[in-house]
Structures are given as structure tokens and as C-alpha cells.
Structure 1
């Protein structure tokens, strides 16, 4: 049992009615729910929940920071919120920021790595270890990865490693456009999405991220989108 986030979508309603609307759409997924005879059984996910956007708040569309329809917790800055009408949520800024950071990391690594022989990702050495652990132990796999000239040089540049990660060959190996698109799509999703239609969808990987973004983009501007923390 652990705490996790779901982005919940409910139809337009008064701000004071939002918790009730969320409770209604969350109810079918309650661990303690008793299913009626003949009722389809759905997978249950939670035993308690609360509105909570800390760490994954939505930016507010500039000029609407004081709109009373926004949902905020104690101490939430005026430019952020836990949710509100989709039309008041600035969905583009987080995507643009993530895309720019991804582009910078990709281009910086490509420029840096061009001064060294091509490097292999850690998965290459790990596969060799798994195939023959007796003759190619795990310590040897890690050493062979780290002693590649480009990786060894990277390890001496903690500032660069913070930007590109410890295994940039693995996650910066796709083409630039794909890398930037995937980064932008990953900026908003939570691990689950609860749709207006009442469907609880797990969100994982680039395809899940893309669907999450597409769904939010096609919601009516007055539909309510809220970050919810649940224990499950």
C-alpha cells in the first residue's frame, strides 16, 4: 500500500461541489466497495484520497490567478493550483519547458560525445553479464561501462551529468524530435487518469503520456481537472 496520484476529470460544477463530484467518480474504485450481485467487478485502487497537487501543480493561465474556480491547498503559490476548469490551466508552459530542457540535454550530449569514440549504453554490458555471469561478472560490466572514454569524461563533469544523466547513451539515443516530443508529453501526466466517462486508466510510457495529453486537450474548457492523492 502506497500513496499515488491520479488526475481526476469531472463535469462543470460549482467550486464547493468539486469534492463531492470527485467522490462520485472515485467511488467505483474504492477497495471497500461491495459489488451488487451481477454487477461487473472493476479493479479497485484506493482506500482514502484527498485533493492534493503538491509537486505536480498546474500553472494557471496568466491573468486568471485569482479566479475563484481554481482549487488550491494551503500555501499554494498564486500562479499554481491543484486543479480547476481545464480552460484556466496552462498546459502548454510545462510542455514547452520540458521540451526545451530535453533539446538542450540532447544537443549538449551530442556535442560532448562527438569528441570521443562511440559509447554503448549500460544495457549492453548488463546483457553480457546476464548471459555469462560466471565469466563476465557484474563488477566487470559496470567497470567496462564506466571506463568508456565518453562516460569516464562525463563522470568528471557532475554539472553535465546532472543535465544528461548517468547513462545518456541509453535515453539520448533516439532522434531529437522523438526525444523532445516524449519529454513534452511526460511533463503533465500522473500515473493514472480518471476520465469524465469514469474510466480509470493507468498511464505509463510514451504512448500513455501521449494519450493523457490528448485527452486533456480535448476536454471542454469548463470541465474540472484535479490532482488527487490516494492511498492504495
Structure 2
């Protein structure tokens, strides 16, 4: 058993009953309760993606639209709000699919150039590791300890605060935040250009390697999709149609055919603006 993520597509008429409509669309594929055989896929799911940043970016100006969907509570009843500019789904017309590979390359290049430019204006910083070592010594924490343990002091938080206070690191992280905010870089996921330790993650790489690591193949790349017509599509596999008894018995042409990595995302970009897209995390 493992986890996977999928985007469920619903007609605009499902607005107002989204949870029930998702349950109906997912039912044929439920393990031991659905159509059986090839359709035994999942046994638990939850609408999510807004709080962790893996869901959908919201079109600029639509952040307060009540039609947007947000994370449902966890099994223990706890929940978190969506990150700014993110959601777990909503009408296609409110979601921003403008993230592209070409743009991510440009943004990554600008992030690396920014470090190179500022490095010429400020003293070279000490490494984060050196601050951690000193913090451990000050607190009496064994040098071999690599993570926080209950009952032990935390040397990492003050070490990182001191590391960030260095002129080059402080100035770079502030400028990087401005760059990412202006570009709405959260469209690529919250880990895009995540450079909390820039001396290592930016200054420690060539420009080409940095860009290669941070550029996105094709936008966000939502590749697992349950289509409007009930086709369950996982990247690299033939579609499975809920209207039929299995792949061998299905006479229909699939909505998505196996092919390029971007096939699933292209389908999502092409659905009607009122179609609802819902991001789910499954246990399969």
C-alpha cells in the first residue's frame, strides 16, 4: 500500500455538492467496494493541496472567491488554511496554469544571478554548519546529534538565526522573497527556489546546475487525472473507464492517451472554465 495524488474533474453542475460528487466519481475505483478487478485502487482519500502548496495556484485577483475549494479536515479533525494564493481546487477558470518550463528557467537564472551580484557587495558569510557547531558547544549538545530530541536543547534555531543575520544571507533572502512574490512563483509549488541555506544551495552550484535543478519540466505537471467522462488515468498507464468492465472490454476512445509527461496537465488546461478540478491525496 502506498500514497498517490490525483485531480478529479467534475462538471460545473456539481458546484454546491462537491464532496458528494467526488465520492460518486471515485466510487467505481474503491478497493473491494467498486467495480472490482482492475478497479480496486484506493481505500481512503482526502481533498488537500492548499495548505501544503501542492494543489492549485489561484488566478490573481480571485483569491477570495467563495467557489474555491480548500483542504478538508484530517482523520483527527484538524485542518490548516490554504497557503496564500493556493487552494485544493475550484472552477478551472479561477485556477492559474500559466507556470511554464521556460519561465522557471528564467526565474532560476535570476535567483542565481542575484546571489552572484550581492556576493560582490558583502563579506563572504560563514557556513550554517559552523554556526550549528558553535551552538551545540554552547548548549552542551553532542556534536554527533543531527536532529532535535525531547529533553535536549535546540541548537539549530539560534544557529540559523545567526546564519541569516549575516549581511549577504539576509540581503539575499529578502531580495529572493521579493523576486518570488513578484513572479507568483508559488505556481510551481512551495519548494520552487527554496534556498533557505543560500551559501550551500545557490553559491555551492554553477549557474547551469542550479537552473537544471530548479527548472520545471512543464509547469506543475498534474499527471494523474480522473476525467469528466470517468477515465482514471495514471501517468504511463492506459486509461481505465468507469463506464466499462475493464480495459479489454472498453470500446471507447480514452480522454487521455499515454504519452508525454504533460498529457495530464494539457487535459486539465483544456476543460471548460466552469468545470471543477479537485486535488486528492489517496491511500492505494
| TM tier, smaller | 0.5 to 0.7
Partners of 2:47 and 2:110 in 1: CA distance: 34
Matched, 1:58 2:59: no
Q: Does 1:222 align with 2:228?
A: no
Q: Is the contact made by 1:59 and 1:89 (CA closer than 8 Å) also made in structure 2?
A: yes
Say if 2:85 is the partner of 1:89.
Answer: no
1:99 and 1:184 in contact (8 A); partners too: no
* 3-state SS in 2 of match to 1:209: coil
CA shift digits 1:145-178 (9 cap, x unpaired): xxxxxxxxxxxx943587679xx6xx96xxxxxx
Structure 1 equivalent of residue 42 of structure 2 = 46
- Give the superposed CA RMSD: 3.5
Which secondary structure does the structure 2 equivalent of 1:84 belong to?
A: strand
Question: Cα distance, 1:18 vs. partner?
Answer: 0.7
Count of residue correspondences: 166
Whether the aligned pair in 1 keeps the contact of 2:57 and 2:86 (CA below 8 Å) is yes
Shift of 1:2: 1.8
Decide whether the 8 Å contact of 1:86 with 1:225 is kept in 2: yes
Which of the pair is proportionally richer in helix?
1
Q: Does 1:2 align with 2:44?
A: no
Structure scoring higher RCO (CA < 8 A, sep ≥ 6) equals: 1
Residue 26 of structure 1 is matched in structure 2 by 26
The TM-score normalised by the length of structure 1 is 0.59
Q: Give the drift of 1:90.
A: 0.6
CA offsets per residue over residues 65-123 of structure 1, 9 Å max, x none? 11111001331134211100011001103656534356779x9xxxxxxxxxxxxxxxx
1:136 aligns with none
Point out where structure 1 has 5 or more consecutive residues left out of the alignment.
108-156, 173-179
